[in-house]
Each structure stands twice: as C-alpha cells, then as structure tokens.
C-alpha cells in the first residue's frame, strides 16, 4: 500500500516532468499502480487508517507523486451537493474548457508540498475531460465546481505543474477578477 514514505516532495525532479501516456490496454502493473493510488486516497479519508499509518488526507493523487512518470490519477471526494465521486483514470485529457475561471476560497494544498502556500489558484470553471477508467471504459466527463478544480490539480501533476504556479505573483491573495468563488 502507498504511505507518505512513497510520496515525493517538491524539489524532486519527477514533479517537474511531463508524464508518459499509459499504453492501452493497460498492463497488470499499471492497473495495480492506479488501484494503489485510489486506495491511498480512500485510506487517507479513513480515521483508523490515518491513525495507523500516519497518512495525510488527500482528495486526489497523481502517479508522478509516487515517482511513477505515467499519466494516471485518482480522485475521491464528496462534492458541494453531498455526492461521492470516485475516479481512477488513465490518460485523462482536458479536451475543452470554459473561458470563465473559478477558484477555491480556501486556496489549495498538495501532498507533495510540506508547507502552507497561501493564495488563490485561478482555474477553468468548467472542463470537458476524456479518459480511460481502471475497468477500460472510455469516459467523457463534463465537470464543474470542486470536482473540476481537483481534476485540474491532478492533471497539472501529469504536466509537471504545481498549484502555486497559477498564483498571482504580485498578490496571491487578490481574488481572481470575474472568477467564481468556490467555498
């Protein structure tokens, strides 16, 4: 199972590399890696597991964060409507997006960043994502709200981008102009 010991931290070069597409159909090894990513996210939301293994809670995780430079992400979160979303995806791709932006009023964090980085992270408000699920089905998702934000955070990791790269350098705490604030 993945624990915090497996998660690389900022400064590790793998966090700044573009990850490779996963060959389809996925190998057993790639399927196991993707399942392990989803298991980490799920375990990190379970109080007993957090306690037992010293896990830092996360709502997503990308393969480069465990030093696997392949295009795989896992996401598990309950959205603003109380709906549980759980995704384990190969080769996710943002195929289109809104001009309108959105941001989390709480800012963002990262399991690979062992420090708070205050500031707003402007992102696309709505995105259309194509990907292949762990079970091999092709997905075509239209996302908004918190789920859209988290997908963009994870797909950024596949392109060597960290959340703070998007912040306004002059004033990170300036609300992004005309963007939707997500509480």
Mind telling me the catalytic residues? 154
3-state SS track over 43-80: HCCCHHHHHHHCCCCCCEEEHHHHCCCECEEEEEEECC
Region of residue 145 (left: phi > 0; alpha: psi -120 to 50; beta: else):
left
36 scored as a contact of ligand SB7 (CB under 6 A): no
Q: How far is Cα 21 from Cα 32, in angstroms, rounded to an integer?
A: 16
Q: Find the shortest distance in angstroms from Cβ 42 to Ni ion.
A: 16
Q: Is the peptide bond before 25 cis (omega within 30 degrees of 0)?
A: yes
Q: Which residues 102-141 are close enough to bind ligand SB7 by CB under 6 A?
A: 104, 108-112
Q: Does 63 bind ligand SB7 (CB under 6 A)?
A: no
Stretch near ligand SB7 under the rule CB under 6 A, chosen from 14-22, 25-33, 53-61, 137-145: 53-61
The pair phi, psi for residue 87, each rounded to 5°, is -135, 135
Shortest distance, position 56 Cβ to ligand SB7, whole Å: 8
Look at residue 143 and give the partner it binds from ligand SB7, Ni ion, none, a contact being a CB closer than 5 to 8 Å depending on partner kind. none
DSSP letter at 163 equals G
From the list 75-83, 108-116, 117-125, 137-145, the region that binds Ni ion by CB under 5 A is: 108-116
Contact yes or no for 25/136 (Cβ under 8 A): yes
**Is residue 110 part of the contact set for Ni ion (CB under 5 A)?**
yes
For ligand SB7, the binding residues (CB under 6 A) are: 58-62, 65, 104, 108-112, 149-150, 153-154, 157
């Amino acid at each position: 199972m993945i624990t915090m010991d497996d998660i690389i931290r900022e400064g590790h070069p793998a966090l700044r590399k573009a990850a490779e597409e996963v060959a389809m159909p996925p190998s057993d090894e790639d399927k196991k890696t993707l399942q392990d990513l989803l298991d980490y996210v799920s375990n990190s939301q379970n109080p007993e597991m957090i306690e037992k293994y010293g896990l830092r809670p996360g709502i997503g995780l990308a393969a480069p964060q465990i030093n696997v430079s392949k295009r795989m992400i896992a996401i598990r979160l309950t959205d603003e409507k109380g709906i549980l979303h759980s995704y384990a995806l190969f080769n996710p791709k943002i195929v289109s997006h809104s001009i309108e932006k959105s941001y989390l009023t709480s800012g963002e964090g990262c399991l690979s960043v062992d420090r708070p980085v205050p500031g707003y992270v402007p992102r696309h408000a709505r995105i259309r994502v194509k990907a292949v699920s762990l079970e091999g089905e092709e997905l075509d998702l239209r996302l908004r709200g918190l789920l859209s934000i988290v997908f963009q955070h994870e797909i950024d990791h596949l392109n060597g981008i960290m959340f703070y790269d998007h912040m306004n350098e002059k004033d990170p705490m300036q609300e992004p102009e005309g963007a939707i604030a997500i509480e």
